[in-house]
Structure 1
Amino acid sequence: MNKLSEEEIRVKLLRFPDWDYYDDAIHAEFEFENFKDCFSAMSRIAFECEALNHHPDWSNVYNVLTISLSTHSVNGVSDLDFKLAEAIESIVEPEDEE
């Protein structure tokens, strides 16, 4: 696994408008209707983290979930972080209902 360059990260972030890159990590904050919905999303995300064997730095205050992703073994952001970000997005931002 390789550390991505800043340019590679910026290009990949075009697919993730809710995410920002700083401090050698990608970051996002998600707001839910209430604590229960936030905690439910965290529980679902935890299963994805275990499946990928990749774990976020995250915090939760009431209905807000703050997430930072980086790959410690490369001391920065790797493709694995974007794979987990994609899984997180599918949980917290389900496809728009028509």
Structure 2
Amino acid sequence: MKRELLSEETLQIALASLPDWQIEGRELVREFRFDSYLAGIEFVNRIAQEAEALNHHPDLLVGWRKVIVRLTTHSAGGLTGLDVTLAGNISAV
């Protein structure tokens, strides 16, 4: 089943409830910073659990004491409610 793209208005409302997330093109993006490299890796493992539960998997860039998360629904060609849901779940981690 194809997911519906969110309107610009809906995205702006969603962003109000997702502090530090930004829209970059067709993606929701956020950088998380940590006190150590291993803390970032532990965070990635926790994100993986959330992603598997929703069967929706972000692109992750792991660096020294930081993790950049990029969300989009590739099959829809942009942002859907699934991306907003996962962003909220990741923020709660």
Task: Report the TM-score, using the length of structure 1 for normalisation.
Answer: 0.89
- TM-aligned CA deviation for residue 36 of structure 1: 0.9
* Residue 59, structure 1, aligned to residue 48, structure 2: no
Secondary structure of the 1:16 match is coil
Query: 5+ residue gaps in structure 2?
Result: none
> 2:18: which partner in 1?
16
Corresponding pairs, count: 91
- TM-aligned CA deviation for residue 17 of structure 1: 1.6
Identity of aligned residues (%): 36
* Residue 6, structure 1, aligned to residue 37, structure 2: no
Task: Report the TM-score, using the length of structure 2 for normalisation.
Answer: 0.94
> 1:74: which partner in 2?
76
Instruction: Let me know the Cα RMSD of the aligned residues.
Output: 0.7
Query: 5+ residue gaps in structure 1?
Result: 92-98
Q: Deviations over 1:12-39 (max 9, x none)?
A: 0001121001211110000011011110
Q: Aligned partners of 1:89 and 1:27: how far apart in 2?
A: 12
Q: Which has the higher contact order (CA 8 A, sep 6+)?
A: 2
Runs (4 or more) in structure 1 with deviation over 4 Å come to none
